[in-house]
Amino acid sequence: MKKLVFESLYLVSHTEKKAAQFHFHPTVNVIKGINVEIGNSTGKSSLLKSLYGCFGADPAKQSPLWERAKVESLLKFTVDGRVYHIHRFGFHFTIFDDKQIVIGRYRRIGSELAPAIANLLGIGVKLPNRSTSILETPPPAFLFVPFYIDQDAGWKDPLASFHGLGQYARNWKESIVYYYIGLRRDEWYELQAERNLLEKQKEEPTRREETLASLRIRISKDLSEIPFDIDVDSFKREVDILISRCRSLASRQEVYRKQTAALQNERTKVMAQLEIIEKAQVELSEDYSFATEVLEDHVECPICGADYANDFAERFSLAKDEDRCISIHRELHQDLEKLESEITQQRSSFQATAEELSAIETSLNQKTGELTLDDLLKRESKKQMAASVDAEYKEVISKINEINISLARLQKEIRKQDSKDQRKLILDTFSGEMNHAIHKLRVNAVVMRNQNILLGVLKGSGSDLPRAVLAYYISLVKTIEAYGSGALCPLVIDSPNQHEQDKQNLTSILEYIRDHRPASSQLFLGLVEDLNIDFQGKIFILDRKYSLLSKEAYLEVSDFVRPFAKAANSIDIVDGEFDF
């Protein structure tokens, strides 16, 4: 298990031209307001909130004054002794290695920063995404929640000190706590991720199986409505003959249709020619009568005065033209009569073909007992469909069975991860620590539900509840220290004197923290009154009201932070990868 230690914290507000720097003790750090009157307004909580805040784990509540200051932060920390820096400004984060070289820039806390921090600290816990159910590394707030008691939110409800803890299902606490105390290790989450992926892959064939099962029932019902079978081959031969005949008749009908259309077009043309000849014939007859009965032998043109002969030759020419028209008219009438005859014949042939097609359709519907050929065709079609559906159904069932076998294997592997002896040892250790802490802290009026106490389910009120919460956190971190997975992180306890603890209870609280804190974990303790108890570490005295940052420190701290800020904003440096 890796160990995280905070070494130094640098805070700069360019808005207020103020700054501060803190260099921490590797074991115990007490952040103390100098007196009771101003102790709660000296900025100790803002300092403590900034520690995990550098990693993107924001507290449940932040001071509006602090937010308006737009503080830039830089935290120097070690992981198993190796030095790193993390720079934060707004929601921009940059991690530097021990040579202060950029190894990662991050603009999204959940999808970018969280996996980087988890990789850095060796934290393998995963939580299922609400939308996809795929296991993912949760945001830093979830990674650090067992190690922080916030002054504003942490003393009423354990594991609730950070902002944004509602994005996962309610059982996220179980996953986080079980992981950190060693009940579930990295292998368990790897197997769970594989199991969730298989469950996701199973969804589509399961939906398909339900659809096919419903379709099989409907087809079976349709087939049952025809109570017997007959000679399918015999019907098939008859149907093939009829279908072949139908195709031949359909082709013939198309020929008749085209020929009839051509004849009708020809008839229309002949009728038009007849109309022209009849008009010409009338005009010629009138001209001949006029020439023979009215005009003289010579006729003068009324326009030019020229003289034209109206002799026998001219009149004979008109008579010949009229006879020619009569002859053409007779020929056209003969052509028309022939076309009418041919059209009638084509229509008759078309009608005969239609009648034969109708007879075939009647044959297809001719009953053999209670069964028609059409019924048989439908039945055979449904039989083929049923066979196809059955084949697909078997394939889907086979796929589901394969996934179920893999799931069963994974479930067996997951159960192997849960050793009953190891589980009992860990739970007994936690229960023993909790009972000891409850006794030492003089907790009386708090109900602790045995099956949920590991998840911080504490019911109580008054001054007893904060002491029970303290007992829970210290017992939890001590169990993590003994058996845990992931990283052992600094324990941050902000203002344990909640609900006006009397002096005896406050003494019990502070002495218990001093004597029973997790020995391997770095401690940060925010206090107003320490009752002169020596915590054997480093004390930071804050004596300015509303002034954690100072103008005097601005130049020095901003000069130190500036190269990190410049590198964080540089576009010339290519992000690297962690290599541990």
Q: Give 400-453 pLDDT, tens digit per residue.
A: 998 999 888 888 887 877 778 888 999 999 999 999 999 999 988 777 765 567
Q: Exposed e or buried b for every residue in 161-171, given b needs 16+ CB within 10 A?
A: bbbbbeebeee
| Mean pLDDT of all residues belonging to the chain | 83
Residue 580 and residue 66: Cα distance in Å, rounded? 36
| Residue-level pLDDT at 298 | 55
Burial class from Cβ neighbours inside 10 Å (0-12, 13-18, 19+) for residue 67 reads exposed
CA neighbor of 120 nearest in space, from 77, 177, 163: 77
8 Å CB contact between 315 and 291: yes
Q: How far is CA 461 from the centre of its chain?
A: 43
DSSP 8-class letter at 110: I
Q: How confident is the model at residue 101 (pLDDT cuts 50, 70, 90)?
A: very high
Q: How confident is the model at residue 368 (pLDDT cuts 50, 70, 90)?
A: very low
Question: What predicted TM-score, i.e. pTM, was given to this entire model?
Answer: 0.67
Burial class from Cβ neighbours inside 10 Å (0-12, 13-18, 19+) for residue 371 reads middle
Instruction: Record the tokens describing residue 198, joined without a space.
Output: 């298989």
Residue 39 has pLDDT above 60, yes or no: no
Query: What would the 3-class secondary structure string for 37-100 be?
Result: HHHCCCCHHHHHHHHHHCCCCCECCCCHHHHHHCCEEEEEEEECCEEEEEEEECCEEEEECCCC
Residue scoring higher pLDDT (369 or 361): 361
Residue 44 and residue 548: Cα distance in Å, rounded? 7
Q: Exposed e or buried b for every residue in 74-108, given b needs 16+ CB within 10 A?
A: bbbbebeeeebbbbbbeeebbbbbeeeebbbbbee
* 3-class state of residue 558 by DSSP: helix
The pairing of beta strand 2-13 with beta strand 18-23: antiparallel
Instruction: Summarize pLDDT for 199-256 with one digit per residue, the tens.
Output: 888 888 998 888 888 887 887 777 666 554 555 566 666 667 777 777 777 787 788 7
Instruction: Record the tokens describing residue 412, joined without a space.
Output: 């067996």
The pairing of beta strand 2-13 with beta strand 148-149: unpaired
Sign, Cα dihedral of 192, 198, 199, 201: positive
Q: Which stretch of DSSP H or E encloses residue 303?
A: none
| Residue-level pLDDT at 360 | 73
